[in-house]
């Protein structure tokens, strides 16, 4: 079973997310908005499939990265989150929350051995982009 398939996003805390977005837009050309920016790309093995990677500054007092005390979080894309979570539980990996499902995919959070929060994301495939229509 393939586990991580790519980087889904980089998230970090900032004292002033709006100013941070403006700095990155002005100096590095990132097209930032209220939720940072999203880099769109195509799958190497199937260019008809689209993917995305997010970059976002969170407020310094955000609780979203809890229980980690680190000011950042990495999001990894995965193929089968349900199956992967079962494997992680067998390995006694610390799972922080219950799996959540949204229109854009499934998510769960876990901690690595140094207490870094990790977000796993199984993107929901867009039927229009995959050639499959419901």
User: Which tokens hold the place of 32?
Assistant: 């930032």
pLDDT, residue 51, reads: 87
DSSP string, 6-33: EEEEEEEEES-HHHHHHHHHHHH----B
Q: What is the pTM of this model?
A: 0.85
Q: Which tens digits make up the pLDDT trace of 49-61?
A: 888 899 999 999 9
pLDDT, residue 126, reads: 58
Q: Which domains does the chain have, with CATH numbers?
A: 4-126 (3.10.180.10)
With cut-offs at 50, 70 and 90, classify the pLDDT of residue 119.
Answer: very high
Q: Which tens digits make up the pLDDT trace of 18-67?
A: 999 999 999 999 999 888 999 999 988 889 888 889 999 999 999 999 99
With cut-offs at 50, 70 and 90, classify the pLDDT of residue 128.
Answer: very low
Angstrom distance (rounded) from CA 97 to CA 23: 33
Angstrom distance (rounded) from CA 111 to CA 95: 7
pLDDT, residue 129, reads: 44
């Amino acid at each position: 079973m393939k586990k991580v398939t790519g980087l889904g996003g980089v998230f970090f805390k900032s004292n002033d997310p709006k100013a941070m977005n403006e700095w990155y837009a002005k100096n590095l050309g990132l097209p930032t908005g209220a939720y940072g920016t999203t880099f769109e790309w195509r799958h190497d093995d199937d260019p008809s499939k689209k993917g995305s990677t997010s970059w976002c500054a969170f407020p310094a007092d955000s609780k979203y990265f809890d229980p980690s005390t680190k000011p950042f979080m990495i999001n990894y894309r995965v193929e089968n989150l349900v199956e992967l979570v079962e494997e992680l539980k067998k390995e006694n990996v610390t799972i922080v929350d219950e799996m959540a499902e949204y229109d854009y995919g499934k998510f769960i959070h876990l901690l690595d051995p140094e207490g870094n929060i990790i977000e796993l994301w199984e993107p929901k495939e867009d039927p229009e982009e995959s050639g499959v229509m419901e």
